[in-house]
């Protein structure tokens, strides 16, 4: 299996157009089958392009994500990460995902300044 039930993931949705919202999903895998992931978690979006910071949508979501469509990048994050504490923060010119522990995921590589 490429993903296992209970694994935690950070998903970056590719933008098709310049004005599309920058959207991420962070959650836990409920199931994986034939290139499809069912995960429960939260969506994070940049609502103000000038501010360039992600905000967490308050309601949890169950998402079906295709790994074969080419629309997402998926990062498997450590099992010790507390999903309820996930936040985005700026560190110099970098943007990081963290839960406040020593762990962070530098997401600047996904194409913005």
pLDDT-derived band at 97, boundaries 50, 70, 90: very high
For 23-51, how does the pLDDT look when each residue is reduced to its tens digit (9 = 90+)? Answer: 899 999 999 999 999 999 999 988 666 66
Please report where in the chains the tokens 């939260």 appear, as a residue: 42
**The pLDDT of residue 92:** 78
Round to whole Å and give the CA distance between 107 and 90. 10
Taking alpha carbons only, the member of 75, 83, 72, 3 closest to residue 41 is 83
DSSP 109: G
Model-level pTM greater than 0.85?
yes
Cα angle 82-108-97, degrees, rounded to a multiple of 5: 10
Domain residue spans of the chain: 8-81
Mean pLDDT of the chain: 87
Average pLDDT over residues 7-13: 94
**The pLDDT of residue 76:** 96
Round to whole Å and give the CA distance between 66 and 7. 16
């Amino acid at each position: 299996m490429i993903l296992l039930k209970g694994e935690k993931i950070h998903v970056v949705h590719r933008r098709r157009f310049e004005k599309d919202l920058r959207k991420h999903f962070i959650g836990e895998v409920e199931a994986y089958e034939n290139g499809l992931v069912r995960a429960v978690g939260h969506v994070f979006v940049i609502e103000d392009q000038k501010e360039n910071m992600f905000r967490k949508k308050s309601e949890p979501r169950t998402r079906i994500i295709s790994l074969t469509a080419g629309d997402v990048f998926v990062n498997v994050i450590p099992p010790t990460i507390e999903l309820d504490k996930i936040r985005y923060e700026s560190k110099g010119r970098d943007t990081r995902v963290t839960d406040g522990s020593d762990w962070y995921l530098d997401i600047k590589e996904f194409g913005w300044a």
